[in-house]
Amino acid sequence: MNINKYCSKFFKYTDLINCGETFNNNMYIDNLPKSQETFGAISELCKFILDPIHDKYGKVVLTYGFASQNLTKIIKKNIYPKLDQHSGYEKNQKGEYICKRLGLACDFYMQKTKMDKVTRYIINNLPFDRLYYYRDDRPIHVSYGPDHKRQLIKMMPYKDRKIPKIISKEKFWFNWYRKSSWE
């Protein structure tokens, strides 16, 4: 597979394979997908989530995309490969999917648009699986997968970490409208 080939209107496979701080600091790591299904998942995420966002708001800045087992081994915190969908359709040494949710996830932000606005656009218009919203000035995590669960998760501060809380679309709108901190 030629990872420099476009997999959608605006994105190449390499955009999601070779992105993120950890990858950029460890470019010697083999972070190529082994499964052709993972390449398909990259393309679907780009076509159905990232391309429409790019069309509406402009350049999408990716901070984390596909993560092989090699890459996840050196990420120190704030990941959970069994649930986060960054591994696509990759399998572990036992031949089981690393993340049984399948599909693919990425984290991104926009330079000129607040992330609450992008989040509202996604939840009202796009067929996402899961979306993790941290704060308006932080990247969001969004996945596209076979479940299309449309689950919205707000990462709530708790002591020295964040804990996930599933919220409804209506609660997201209400809190945005009130300009609440949701704390």
The 10s digit of each residue's pLDDT in 113-128 is 999 899 999 999 999 9
In Å, how far are 8, 33, 108, 149, 161 from 16, measured between CA atoms? Answer: 12, 11, 11, 22, 26
- Average pLDDT over the chain reads 87
Contacts of 19 (CB under 8 A, 6+ apart): 62, 63, 64, 65
**pTM attached to this predicted model:** 0.89
Averaged pLDDT for residues 144-169: 86
**Per-residue model confidence (pLDDT) at position 164:** 81
Instruction: Please give the full DSSP string across 121-141, using - where no structure is assigned.
Output: HHHHH---SEEEE--TTS-EE
Q: What's the pLDDT at 175?
A: 57
For the chain, the distance separating the N- and C-terminal CA atoms, rounded to the nearest angstrom, is 46
Q: Rounded to the nearest 10 degrees, how much is the dihedral formed by the CA atoms of 177, 181, 182, 183?
A: -160
The pLDDT of 26-40, averaged and rounded, is 88
Residue 5's pLDDT is 97
Question: Can you tell me the mean pLDDT for 152-161?
Answer: 82
Region 162-173 average pLDDT: 78
Neighbouring C-alpha atoms within 13 Å toward the C-beta of 65: 27
12-29 pLDDT tens trace: 999 999 987 656 666 667
Residue 171 has pLDDT above 90, yes or no: no
When comparing pLDDT for 25 and 35, which is higher?
35
* pLDDT at residue 28 in the model: 67
The token pair at 86 is 């960054």
User: In this structure, how many other beta carbons lie within 10 angstroms of the beta carbon of residue 126?
Assistant: 17
Of 85, 75, 97, residue with least CA distance to 153: 85
Query: What average pLDDT does range 68-92 have in this prediction?
Result: 82
Q: Is the pLDDT reported for residue 67 higher than 80? A: yes
Q: Is the pLDDT of residue 141 over 60?
A: yes
Q: What DSSP string describes 87-121?
A: TTT-B-TTS-BSSTT-SEEEEEEESSS-HHHHHHH
Q: Supply the pLDDT for residue 91.
A: 95
- In angstroms, the CA 94 to CA 172 distance is 40
Q: Can you tell me the distance from the alpha carbon of 99 to that of 105, in angstroms, rounded to the nearest whole number?
A: 11
128 C-beta neighbours (distance < 10 Å), count? 22
Pairwise CA distance, residues 154 & 167, whole Å:
7
Share of the chain above pLDDT 70, in %: 86
Residue 70's pLDDT band, with cuts at 50, 70 and 90, is confident
Contacts of residue 10, Cβ cutoff 8 Å, sequence gap at least 6: 46, 50, 51, 54, 60
